[in-house]
Amino acid sequence: MSLIQLYMPSESVHAAVTELGELGVVQFKDLHPDAAPFQRTFVSDIRRLDEMQRRVEFLEEQLDREAIAARPLESALPLLGRTDSSRTPLFMEQIAKQLQEHADRIAQMNSSYDSLQKRLQQLEEAKYVIRETAVFFQHAETQPEQVRLSMDSDHDHQPLLSQQRAPGVEGLANAAPPASFDLEFVAGTIDRAQMATLERVLWRALRGNLFMNYAEIQQGFPGPVHDQTVYKNVFVIFAHGTTVLAKIRKIAESMGGALFTVESDESQRDARLHEVLERIEDHENILHSTSAARRAELLKVAESIAAWHDLVRREKLVYGTMNLFQNDPRQKTMVAEGWAPTQDLPRVQLALRRATEDTGAHVSSVMQVLPTNDTPPTYQLTNKFTEGFQAIIDAYGFATYQEVNPGLFAVITFPFLFAVMFGDIGHGILLLLCAGTMVLYEQKLLKTKLDEITSMFFYGRYIILLMGAFAIYTGFIYNDIFSLSMHLWHTGWKWPHKQGALTAEPTGHVYPIGLDPTWHGAENNLVFTNSFKMKMSIVLGVAQMTFALLLNVPNHLHFKRASWIWAELLPQILFLESLFGYLVITIIYKWSVDWSATDANGHSLHNSPPGLLNMLIYMFLKPGNVDPNVQLFPGQASVQMFLLLLALVCVPWMLIAKPYLLYKEHQSKAGYHAVGSSESQQLVQQSDDQQEVFGEEDAANDAHDQQHGEEFEIGEVVIHQIIHTIEFCLGCISNTASYLRLWALSLAHAQLSQVLWDMTIKNVFGMTGLVGAIASMFAFALWFILTIFILCIMEGLSAFLHALRLHWVEAGSKHYEAAGYPFEPLTFRQEENIGWKHARILRSSSARLYATGAEHRLRMLLVGCPGSGKGTLSARIQQKYSVPIITAGDLLRWHTTHNTELGKQASAVIRAGKLMPDETMMELVGQKVQEMDQSDWLLDGFPRTSGQATMLNESLHSKNTPLTLVVNLNVPEDVILQRVLDRWTHIASGRVYNLSFNPPKNPGLDDLTGEPLEKREDDNPATFRKRIESFHAQTEPMIDYFRSISSPAHASKPLLVDLSGRTSNEIWPQLQETIESRFSYLST
């Protein structure tokens, strides 16, 4: 990996970055990390692309609602008519114009359609009201003797009417108003769920002085939420008096009812109904035409939407990358730095040359390799077969640069250890068929939009393939297929022809592969297989840990630490092998001895086979003593005494040798201090030259670090080595015991498989005839479903996680430093690509393995008086944790600029010279928070008062998106006033400079435009002191309110945290620690 520096002319930088994005081998560095996002060079271009992306997402949403499939990207790209390298600003303006025209037309059609739909719904409701009211009057005129008054009762549960309703729309015909028709009435519709409430409220409000009847409308109406259906009732309420009728109308409207005017005269009602029916027909025709026009417009959009989406995504990547560069407007060049694989440097040079030729630039881009002491990123080259295994290892941690990559060995060891726990030929075949199908159709599946769970399985298809293959192999070893055994060869045992308890007799030959099938029918089968699998687990565990320790050899040799091999690695190996290596040897020896062998006289040649667990225990409790009755081999006591002493010697060896070696190396280097100082001074001078060219303080700081280095403390080294030694010695014991999970899960899998077989298929084998056939069919279906979901999926997932643990902890802790960071180059490869997407999921799974609920997300409010550094800290949070910032001022400007309904209200308030109502601000922020759904966010600029804080907190809790952290910044007032005195602003762009810590390159001039800097009107001590006093008076009650609340994410911790410091650099580490300690998933 090489650190490269690129000098690119301004006219070809866009094309150069595009070519490098297509190449995908350069990871760029941010050359001004302290700059806020709005201070970047291409912030206006990013905003323009954000607007284009918003329109693309709007159009995609409309296509999804209409179920219109977009043209695939491969066939849609040629429609743009331009390649990546030939995209000009004019071309992007044309695309932006097209997007705006399409989005505006669709939005206008949607608005017209919604308006027509709403009006059509009103006409439909009016139709039902007129019809049912007419039925009501007709029934009352023909049968006046059935008319009754409402009962005069104040009891809450007394029915309002003697006859209230009947099912269906005929219900109005079953009751009638008073016999005299001089009463006035109110007719309308209301949501069926509100009907009972309306009855109760009217009864109590009017004290029973009304007559009410209603009927259900069977037709459903579109609700306020998409795809929601609302059912309504028609109601007619008779009452007397203008005041009473007005109260009825007010109550009905307040509960969402829609009122309609219905004439008492029959001929007028008929004419009104005829008019309504004609208007309904007209509206339906217009709706059909509007829908057809909208669909035609969306079909045009579908032809190019994939290409537009891809184009906007790429352009945002390009301009986001260009914002990392150093801009030199005087030289009309941009300077970039980044990491690239050394073998790909010629390809990078060729890409730069292509960009220069495509743009016709007069000056070529220049690439040079920089010498550096920085640690490069780790680049693990993978393919579709190995990337899944590499992602498993990366989830534990990224390898240190040029460290031995254990992902290579995990290709074999991971599926093998899984198969030891999952060994069954039948289950292995099912896994193999599933993975083989995905591999066979992988090209087709890559082009298919899969759900998240399916796509994760597809990403790990080669892992599952090998797990299935190894499960078949271990199934042969266990001679197990769906809990049954296979008789492929002649058994090595025979049963005597006797009655009663029998003992099998050997036939003189051994079953060639795996367990003899005779064991499956034996009563001591479980005893034998338990012993076999337990010992096998110990052998495999010690073998893997030994191999992991030996991987330190190439690491030490490569990093020129050969002396560490004898100082640390050798005693570690001797310690492990003298205890547990000896145990493995005794296991193999015990397997190799025929304990039942006898001499010519029939006497046993050996004692009873000794228990190895007791042997290991007494090796520590009674060193040098072995009971002759349980002796395994001659001289066993002496051998065990020697191995135990060797293990004890290795402990001080590990404790002392490495610290002493490091101390001597430090003393040796100290003897060449003069030479080292001279070289360091040259580095400082060179860094100063770089600082003059680029105007950066980082170069001098890096040189200072190189000159002085980290101070050597022998005490710290000794303490670290003591901890490491204790951890290794205890880990050897606990890790060896941890490998017994191989035996435990293998036993559980076999027993569960046998239980499923015995409880399902085995029970129906004795049945015959039609009943037997049907029972067999159902039993097989039940057995197969349980096998798939319990044994293959649930047990498979369990074995997968245990194999993951063995690789991460038991093996990885022996050699894997994992102190690197990943190589993440600029690439245009689709983010939705299954491999890239789920590699990131697996890499971060160690921190995000469990779902993070709404109360555990970072939903943060940053509070601080003007000049306290809120803007700087907010930008750092956004950059480090990718947390979007919700700014009340920006939301208000967006709504007023786009003339939305809220924007119109805000504009009216501003023109009137009034303060913005809390309800309006709450609605602005609430809408944005609802759009963010369950993601993280940082709130700035709202709330400012305790009333606003209470309103915000209650609203967020009702939406299940509560605030989880409030940070109050405490900065001394004299520091803030000094910042104000030193602050200068470029008014046109909003860039802010400070003479103390962020001065302009040229005094008084903007770095990018060269235009003069100015003082803002309120940047004076008197004005600013008033602003600070006003801030404290306004926000202190709000801070006290938040201080009294505990955090939803951590009930034992307060919601509000106070952070103090004189500068943002002092506060930032405190803020970072607070965030990462409370929200651990953000620390990865």
307-326 mean pLDDT: 90
The pLDDT value recorded for residue 949 is 84
Q: Are residues 199 and 162 in the same domain?
A: yes
**Is 374's pLDDT higher than 80?**
yes
The pLDDT value recorded for residue 227 is 66
* pLDDT tens, position by position, 902-927: 777 777 776 676 666 777 777 777 77
213-222 mean pLDDT: 83
Higher pLDDT, 709 or 209: 209
Helix 13-23 and helix 266-322, axial crossing angle in degrees, nearest 10: 90
DSSP β-ladder status, 859-863 and 937-940: parallel
DSSP β-ladder status, 2-9 and 184-191: unpaired
In a domain, 380, yes or no: no
**Is 147's pLDDT higher than 60?**
no
CA-to-CA distance for 896 and 904, rounded, in angstroms?
6
* pLDDT tens, position by position, 515-547: 888 888 788 888 888 899 999 999 999 999 999
The pLDDT value recorded for residue 498 is 63
Phi, psi dihedrals of residue 392, rounded to the nearest 5°: -60, -45
In a domain, 275, yes or no: yes
The pLDDT value recorded for residue 160 is 38
Q: Are residues 406 and 260 in the same domain?
A: no
Higher pLDDT, 677 or 1081: 1081
Q: Are residues 72 and 186 in the same domain?
A: yes
Mean pLDDT is highest, among 62-66, 210-214, 594-598, 1046-1050, for: 62-66
In total, the chain counts a number of residues equal to 1084
Q: Are residues 435 and 474 in the same domain?
A: yes
> Starting at the edge strand that comes first in sequence, how are the strands of the sheet with 885-887 ordered?
885-887, 937-940, 859-863, 965-970, 1056-1060
The pLDDT value recorded for residue 715 is 87
The pLDDT value recorded for residue 426 is 94
Q: What is the DSSP letter of 992?
A: E
55-72 mean pLDDT: 87
**Is 465's pLDDT higher than 90?**
yes
Task: Please give the full DSSP string across 211-259, using - where no structure is assigned.
Answer: EEEEEEEEEEEE-SSTT-EEEEEEEEEEE-SHHHHHHHHHHHHHTT-EE
Last residue of some domain: 814, 834, 851? 814
**Is 152's pLDDT higher than 70?**
no
Number of domains making up the chain: 6
* pLDDT tens, position by position, 837-891: 444 444 443 333 333 444 567 888 888 887 777 877 887 787 677 677 787 777 7
Q: Are residues 281 and 404 in the same domain?
A: no
- In a 3-state reduction of DSSP, which class is residue 505? strand
**Is 702's pLDDT higher than 80?**
no
In a domain, 179, yes or no: yes
Q: Are residues 477 and 570 in the same domain?
A: yes
The structure tokens 């759900």 sit at 451
291 Cβ contact partners less than 8 Å away, ≥ 6 residues apart: 113
**Is 209's pLDDT higher than 90?**
no
965-983 mean pLDDT: 81
The pLDDT value recorded for residue 698 is 39
The pLDDT value recorded for residue 842 is 42
**Is 340's pLDDT higher than 70?**
yes
Helix 673-694 and helix 698-708, axial crossing angle in degrees, nearest 10: 180
**Is 66's pLDDT higher than 80?**
yes
- In a 3-state reduction of DSSP, which class is residue 814? helix
In a domain, 496, yes or no: no
> What's the predicted TM-score (pTM) here?
0.64
Least trusted range by pLDDT, from 523-537, 564-578, 598-612, 710-724: 598-612
The CATH number that applies at residue 1006 is 3.40.50.300
pLDDT band at 78 (very low <50, low <70, confident <90, very high): low
The pLDDT value recorded for residue 171 is 41
The pLDDT value recorded for residue 914 is 64
The pLDDT value recorded for residue 670 is 66
Return the half-sphere exposure (C-beta side, CA atoms, 13 A cut-off) of residue 218.
Answer: 5
Helix (H) or strand (E) holding 994: strand 991-994
Higher pLDDT, 973 or 417: 417
Q: Which residues pair with 6 in a beta bridge?
A: 336, 367
Residue 678 lies in domain: 671-708
C-alpha dist (Å) from residue 386 to 226, 408, 463: 44, 8, 9
Q: Are residues 258 and 363 in the same domain?
A: no
Higher pLDDT, 360 or 536: 536
983-989 mean pLDDT: 71
**Is 106's pLDDT higher than 60?**
yes
369 Cβ contact partners less than 8 Å away, ≥ 6 residues apart: 2, 3, 4, 5, 345
pLDDT band at 729 (very low <50, low <70, confident <90, very high): very high
Least trusted range by pLDDT, from 420-424, 702-706, 932-936, 940-944: 702-706
In a domain, 354, yes or no: yes
**Is 50's pLDDT higher than 60?**
yes
The pLDDT value recorded for residue 709 is 43
**Is 943's pLDDT higher than 70?**
yes
- In a 3-state reduction of DSSP, which class is residue 369? strand
pLDDT band at 938 (very low <50, low <70, confident <90, very high): confident
In a domain, 847, yes or no: no
In a domain, 855, yes or no: no
Q: Are residues 915 and 1026 in the same domain?
A: no
**Is 86's pLDDT higher than 70?**
no
Q: Which of 494, 483, 490 is nearest to 512 (CA)?
A: 490
pLDDT band at 56 (very low <50, low <70, confident <90, very high): very high
Q: Are residues 152 and 294 in the same domain?
A: yes
* pLDDT tens, position by position, 275-296: 888 888 888 888 888 888 888 8
Active-site amino acid positions: 870, 944, 983, 1016, 1027
CA-to-CA distance for 75 and 82, rounded, in angstroms?
14
725-746 mean pLDDT: 93
Least trusted range by pLDDT, from 79-93, 249-263, 323-337, 766-780: 79-93
**Is 170's pLDDT higher than 80?**
no
Last residue of some domain: 780, 814, 848? 814
Q: Are residues 940 and 928 in the same domain?
A: no
* pLDDT tens, position by position, 1003-1017: 888 776 778 888 766
The pLDDT value recorded for residue 593 is 85
**Is 161's pLDDT higher than 50?**
no
User: Chain-wide mean pLDDT for the chain?
Assistant: 80
Last residue of some domain: 814, 844, 873? 814
Q: What is the DSSP letter of 481?
A: B
pLDDT band at 548 (very low <50, low <70, confident <90, very high): very high
In a domain, 417, yes or no: yes
Angle at 76 (CA atoms; ends 70, 78), nearest 5 degrees? 170
> Starting at the edge strand that comes first in sequence, how are the strands of the sheet with 258-260 ordered?
211-222, 229-239, 184-191, 258-260
Q: Which of 383, 338, 472, 242 is nearest to 30 (CA)?
A: 338
Q: Are residues 70 and 81 in the same domain?
A: yes
Q: Are residues 475 and 528 in the same domain?
A: yes
